[in-house]
Structure 1
Amino acid sequence: MRRPKSKKFRKQERVSEEEEINLLNSWIQFQPPDSGSNPMSLPPLPKDAPVGRLHDDTYSRYAGASRFHQFPLSKKTKDALREAKFVAMTDIQRASLPHALCGRDILGAAKTGSGKTLAFIIPVLEKLYRERWGPEDGVGSIIISPTRELAGQLFDVLKIVGKNHNFSAGLLIGGRKDVDTEKQRVNELNILICTPGRLLQHMDETPNFDCTQLKVLVLDEADRILDSGFKQALNAIISQLPKRRQTLLFSATQTKSIQDLARLSLKDPEYLSVHEESVTATPTMLKQIVMVVDLDQKLDMLWSFIKTHLQSKTLVFLSSCKQVKFVFEAFKKLRPGIALKCLHGRMKQERRMAIYSEFCEKRSVLFSTDVAARGLDFNKAVDWVVQVDCPENVASYIHRVGRTARYKSCGNSVLFLLPSEIQMLEKLKAAKVPVHFSKPRQERLQPVSSLLASLLAKYPDMQHRAQRAFITYLRSIHIQKDKDIFDVTKLPIDKYSASLGLPMTPKIRFLNQKIKSKAVSTKSILVELGDSNKENFVEVSGKKLDTVTFKDEETENGLLQLADTANEDEMKSSEIGEMIPATRVLKKKKLKINVHRPVGTRVVFDDEGNTLPPLARIADTQSGKETMLLDPEQKAEYYRRMREDLKKGDKEDKLVERQRLREKRIKQKMKWKAEEEDDEDDISGSEGDEPETVDRRHKKKTKVYFDSDSDSESESEEGERKGNTGITTSAVTLEDQEALALKLLNSMHS
């Protein structure tokens, strides 16, 4: 058991902390870096140079230092860094720490895996330490992350670097059920690492949640947090924070938007892009490959890649959660020979963190959406990053490939581009991203589409997953802003659905506008077919049609691949009718009944073939012979007798049905009464229970009386049978119940 510190020792500790804080403040103020300068441009300090206070109240220079022990940091922070084997600083740390320790706002941009996390964790700890922040001071710093996994990773780094400090810290992320526990303790925390949604939830719901004394605000992956997806939440958060604070923004692709900076109330921020002069925007140890792959061959290429890299740790990026689910489930059933995992935003938080931890430790293939594209640092290096679907922009590409080749380690990436997405290659080259073309070896290509079709036939639920994956992928292409790269009208949709194993192309309801298709000249078609063959053009439901009209949805799905003409206006229905039909059988169009169609008349013939009026042949019931009752009086008499017979039969049927319903209600009443007695026994056997819910089932039930001879009774008779509470007061004896039960049994056997 740890012995408590004595009062004398605590006093000495406070004095030493005060002396250290005074020393640090004097050291920082002695030679601060010039505003607008990059400390990396200064000559580095020698390893054996004196550190700290020199003679005559002078201090060593820290701007341009390359090691942590040369900086004006507290002993607690330096000890934790040394124990974690953080000795030499990275470029972004050398550039940003001198400005951050001076209390300046920072916009830090650096390549992925360059150590941005320590560049803001250390200033946060040092700022609160020099302010002598304690539990009673409340929230002193907020660190906002766009994803839960990244927030958890930041929290782990904070625990390592700040373990010697006395600050309280909390991880506030969505997907967890302990919101009430967080609300009870959030006001006592000094450092909050959170996602925007969870932080805003506490600001709105937690009583007395106060951030007015905030000293440091940090946005990790700032460009992602400042975009439209988090705009509303971030504006609400910023409105509740004090304007006099230090703000640190870090990302691999930093924003320079004046509007974004104004939203955050930044004051003369220092823009530090340590790799802006670099030859490449991605890590130098990263080998990047681009392959042009047709849409219907993407899964074949992915399957072949996995089968040929069974000894590698591979991270696969897809556009949507539904795609991740389908590909993961399908490939798992096909057993490629390596462990498969999936990660997406629709999973529960506990499961997401477990999968992230498992992938960090073991060699496997992880299928993921962009939820794993930013900031995550996997402990053991990722060998390959495979981008099956094209990223939405260059920044997303840089963040994706940044999961490999982290900090002086090697890595590989491959990007599958469609022929219609080839312009992304030009944008990557313009952004100083070095990529290399590579052609797949056709002899090593292993088609998987036929296997997927068998899986969908064997597992019906897989067909629904495939349909959702198909639709969500097309939707992800449809909503992209850059139409020069992402054009859903250029995709071979029919072939793509077949490559997923689907027997038919699903409907795509979100495409409301018509696709501007390229018209084909129909003259050559008619010449080849000839007028005589035109009637055999297409056959639907056994009927030969001269022309075929396609639904807008089906033309949008790319079912018709049309050649060039001089006119590229929207296709007319008359032109569509002369086109060659798609290879797949189109869904039958529902027929509408024409209410104005001509109606025929019924013709009745006698034995000799003579026509008779309708319903003229009527049997003579008296003689038993068929006679032609054409006399109006006889017909009227016959109809009168028939009506009387029908009324009599209807009356008898009603009596039988009424008796059946009465017996059914009696049986139900007996069942309720038996349940009531059981409930009364249960209530009497337990103390303190409220019997309010016992008669709940009778609230909306129609009251039934056993001695009632009719279905409805007069109000006077009903009043005699009811008490003041409206409950039936007449009792049913045991003999009556036995008689009713016997009657029911007899009716059932009969």
Structure 2
Amino acid sequence: MVNKDWAKITPALSKPVLSCINKQGFKTMTPIQAAVIPLILSCKDVVAEAVTGSGKTLAFVVPLLEMLLKKQKDSPLRKDFVYAAIISPTRELATQIYTVIQQFLQEPELSHVTLALLVGGRAVEIDVETLQKGAHITVCTPGRLEDLLSERKQLNLAGRMKELEILVLDEADRLLDLGFSATLTTILQYLPRQRRTGLFSATQTKELQDLVRAGLRNPVVVSVKEKSTISTPLLLENYYVIVESEDKFLFLLNFIRNRKIAKGLFFLPTCACVDYWADVLPVFLPGIKIFAIHGKMKLKRSKILSKFREADNTILLCTDLLARGLDIPEVEWVLQWEPPTNPSALVHRVGRTARGGAAGCSLLPLLPSEDTYVPFIKSNQMVELKDWRQSKDEIKISQKLREKVLSILHSQQKADRAILDKGQRAFVSHMRAYTKHECNLLLQFKDLPLGHIATSYGLLKLPLMPEIKQEHKDQFIGPKEEIDFNSIPYKDKQKEASRLQKLEEYKKSGVWPSKKKKKNAQTQPWEQTKQNKEERKQKRKKRKELKQKEGEGKRGKKRRVVTQEELDELAADVALLKKLKKRKITDEQFDKQFDVGD
């Protein structure tokens, strides 16, 4: 029997939908489902806010399918029409939603409904072919949908969507964070206004409110909070720990070793950081499977995510690409290298665990200069962080361990120049990302001990950066012996052969071949560059405002009104010229009538 909670929905759910819900083991509705499903079924536009892991996906999938079943009863669904569109910020989340809907379409009564996944990372022709075969429901990313609507005229997707019943924007705030505001505006212009629209997110922002006003008609706002003073699930325990910058990697390494983590997510600041640590971590954690994923991986992402789901005793290194919507119930721990650039992203990161009523934990290491982040995040995002050292066992880091780990990191870079390059890029990109923190009053770049951080990365040398001062060079601990960096080879034979050839040319000419000088090379610190950029922006803004005022002044001048008498006189002159051209009158007659002599 289906649980009474689902059966009590008004309007009542159909048998095939209830049957699938029962098979998947969803015995009771979550608060967001109970609030939103009846509203959408009664043809209301909805703006839904609920903590991550609260069941938002079913809250729009169930009424969406019910609306299609109802339409099918009135008239058969046309093969070439799209009746429902779900827009998601990332292809991983879109694929996840696609999989959930697929399970419902296995019911015999729903088998006639067609489904398409339209995402980037593959040829657009594949999606065009899929749509031509038929897709009553489309799950898509915004960039791909805009391309299909505006660029593929022969497909006429806008015409196929003229009977669209429902549009869903999942993780709507993230869509705007990723810069899809203009894309969404373009998409909305192609869609019919007589439709139902649902916006689902874990946080509400000003930009989201602007989108609501632009795309929804008199929406019902539903905000479901946990019965507590925090914005994360009740069974989620969030911890922080204060560590010295040079010991952060050692602490996290020992932390992972001391815990038998079946599945864990490890958030790193940048794509380059993910690439570097994915190369060096397996040596330190031989019994744990290490996977890596970030936004610059185009074709590999879905395969890596699938392998991570299936594996045990594994950790996935990732960027904030996976901070939203990813639903892997088995994730026990969420580890973070440092606070995210956007404070609200912390809620989404830690929300990858403790999903569906399960328990979970998260850990955020902070530097001594970042300790004010704890009270800030509690007041700003209502996330309470507990001190790990007071709650649990303290992990001790000995000098012997420091030297051993540093020696292994150095040896890895000396063995493969690719790892050396990745380490340099990771450190520079990490420092650049730190300067872009939204809460930069608390997380100040000038307070960072860059030499100690470079040591924790195990770098063989400090990169050339204007920000690195003498004090940072004094902090840095590199290899004890002198290193000839030109002698460090690439393991990749083809790459090494190319490097050796360039090295020979360099020894002869003194100029590294094919190394082009950048027009605007970085010669000043990032903070100064940022300030100069802001000053230029303000100057452009002032010039624009000045031009607008001048334009308004010109438009404000009254134009002289042309009288009917003047218009008649002009018409007579034109007629006279035509007569002269056709030789109907002589030059003397023209001069006389035109008063040339006067």
Aligned to 1:183: 128
Q: Distance in 2 between matches of 1:393 and 1:585?
A: 32
Does the alignment pair 1:97 with 2:43?
A: no
SS in 2 for 1:284: coil
Question: Which of 292, 307, 310 is the aligned partner of 1:361?
Answer: 310
Question: Which of 547, 560, 581 is the aligned partner of 2:471?
Answer: 560
Aligned to 1:396: 345
311-320 or 94-103, which deviates more: 311-320
Residue type of the alignment partner of 2:67: K
Q: Distance in 1 between matches of 2:383 and 2:476?
A: 41
Q: Distance in 2 between matches of 1:122 and 1:264?
A: 25
Aligned to 2:491: none
Q: Distance in 2 between matches of 1:384 and 1:158?
A: 28
Aligned to 1:468: 425
Question: Which of 332, 337, 359 is the aligned partner of 1:383?
Answer: 332
Question: Which of 291, 295, 315 is the aligned partner of 2:265?
Answer: 315
Q: Distance in 2 between matches of 1:223 and 1:263?
A: 14
Structure-to-structure mapping, 1:385-424, within 5 angstroms: 385-424=334-373
**Cα 1:341–1:113 shift into 2, 3 Å:** same
Q: Distance in 1 between matches of 2:179 and 2:33?
A: 29
Any gaps of 5 or more consecutive residues in structure 1? 1-46, 49-64, 509-552, 562-580, 587-750
Q: Distance in 2 between matches of 1:371 and 1:584?
A: 32
TM-fit CA distance, 1:583: 6.0
427-436 or 253-262, which deviates more: 253-262
**Cα 1:227–1:460 shift into 2, 3 Å:** closer
Does the alignment pair 1:151 with 2:94?
A: yes
Q: Deviations over 1:248-282 (max 9, x none)?
A: 11122233657523564211211111116533211
Q: CA RMSD in A?
A: 2.4
Q: Deviations over 1:654-709 (max 9, x none)?
A: xxxxxxxxxxxxxxxxxxxxxxxxxxxxxxxxxxxxxxxxxxxxxxxxxxxxxxxx
Aligned to 1:114: 54
Q: Deviations over 1:127-168 (max 9, x none)?
A: 222222613461111101111111111001111123331211
Aligned to 2:416: 459
Residue type of the alignment partner of 2:409: L
Whether the 8 Å contact between 1:110 and 1:273 is mirrored in structure 2 is yes
Whether the 8 Å contact between 2:449 and 2:475 is mirrored in structure 1 is no
Aligned to 1:600: none
Aligned to 1:705: none
Q: Deviations over 1:304-348 (max 9, x none)?
A: 112112443221100111101101100123444211111111223
**Cα 1:450–1:168 shift into 2, 3 Å:** same
Does the alignment pair 1:293 with 2:243?
A: yes
TM-fit CA distance, 1:438: 2.1
Q: Distance in 2 between matches of 1:97 and 1:276?
A: 19
Q: Distance in 2 between matches of 1:395 and 1:585?
A: 35
Whether the 8 Å contact between 1:489 and 1:558 is mirrored in structure 2 is no
Whether the 8 Å contact between 1:492 and 1:558 is mirrored in structure 2 is no
Does the alignment pair 1:202 with 2:148?
A: yes
**Cα 1:122–1:180 shift into 2, 3 Å:** same
TM-fit CA distance, 1:454: 1.9
Whether the 8 Å contact between 1:423 and 1:484 is mirrored in structure 2 is no
Does the alignment pair 1:212 with 2:151?
A: no
232-241 or 147-156, which deviates more: 232-241
Whether the 8 Å contact between 1:454 and 1:501 is mirrored in structure 2 is no
Q: Distance in 2 between matches of 1:309 and 1:449?
A: 22
274-283 or 404-413, which deviates more: 274-283
Structure 1 length-normalised TM? 0.58
Q: Deviations over 1:702-742 (max 9, x none)?
A: xxxxxxxxxxxxxxxxxxxxxxxxxxxxxxxxxxxxxxxxx
Whether the 8 Å contact between 1:394 and 1:427 is mirrored in structure 2 is no
Residue type of the alignment partner of 2:219: P
TM-fit CA distance, 1:88: 1.5
Residue type of the alignment partner of 1:142: A
SS in 1 for 2:43: coil
Does the alignment pair 1:443 with 2:392?
A: no
214-223 or 250-259, which deviates more: 250-259
Does the alignment pair 1:488 with 2:437?
A: no
Aligned to 1:142: 85
TM-fit CA distance, 1:303: 1.3
**Cα 1:435–1:479 shift into 2, 3 Å:** closer
Question: Which of 78, 84, 97 is the aligned partner of 2:24?
Answer: 84
SS in 2 for 1:560: helix
TM-fit CA distance, 1:481: 2.9
Residue type of the alignment partner of 1:134: L
Does the alignment pair 1:344 with 2:294?
A: yes
Question: Which of 466, 478, 487 is the aligned partner of 2:435?
Answer: 478
SS in 2 for 1:171: strand
Q: Distance in 1 between matches of 2:374 and 2:335?
A: 16
**Cα 1:181–1:393 shift into 2, 3 Å:** closer
Q: Distance in 2 between matches of 1:70 and 1:262?
A: 26
Q: Distance in 2 between matches of 1:175 and 1:258?
A: 27
TM-fit CA distance, 1:174: 0.9
TM-fit CA distance, 1:455: 1.4
Structure-to-structure mapping, 1:592-603, within 5 angstroms: none
Residue type of the alignment partner of 1:486: L
Aligned to 1:125: 65
SS in 2 for 1:247: strand
SS in 2 for 1:366: strand
**Cα 1:122–1:264 shift into 2, 3 Å:** farther
Residue type of the alignment partner of 1:557: I
TM-fit CA distance, 1:488: 1.7
Q: Distance in 2 between matches of 1:110 and 1:584?
A: 45
Q: Distance in 1 between matches of 2:50 and 2:70?
A: 28
Any gaps of 5 or more consecutive residues in structure 2? 479-598
Residue type of the alignment partner of 1:209: L
For CA contacts below 8 A with separation 6 or more, give which structure has more relative contact order: 2
**Cα 1:94–1:228 shift into 2, 3 Å:** same
TM-fit CA distance, 1:495: 1.9
**Cα 1:117–1:289 shift into 2, 3 Å:** same
SS in 2 for 1:337: coil
Aligned to 2:375: 426
Aligned to 2:537: none
SS in 2 for 1:503: coil
340-349 or 147-156, which deviates more: 340-349
Structure 2 length-normalised TM? 0.72
Whether the 8 Å contact between 2:226 and 2:234 is mirrored in structure 1 is no
Aligned to 2:115: 169
Does the alignment pair 1:279 with 2:219?
A: no
Q: Distance in 1 between matches of 2:477 and 2:6?
A: 70
Whether the 8 Å contact between 2:235 and 2:354 is mirrored in structure 1 is yes
Q: Distance in 2 between matches of 1:374 and 1:99?
A: 25
Whether the 8 Å contact between 1:317 and 1:370 is mirrored in structure 2 is yes
TM-fit CA distance, 1:244: 2.5
427-436 or 317-326, which deviates more: 427-436
Residue type of the alignment partner of 1:417: L
Q: Distance in 1 between matches of 2:14 and 2:476?
A: 72
Residue type of the alignment partner of 2:82: V
Whether the 8 Å contact between 2:114 and 2:137 is mirrored in structure 1 is yes
TM-fit CA distance, 1:213: 2.5
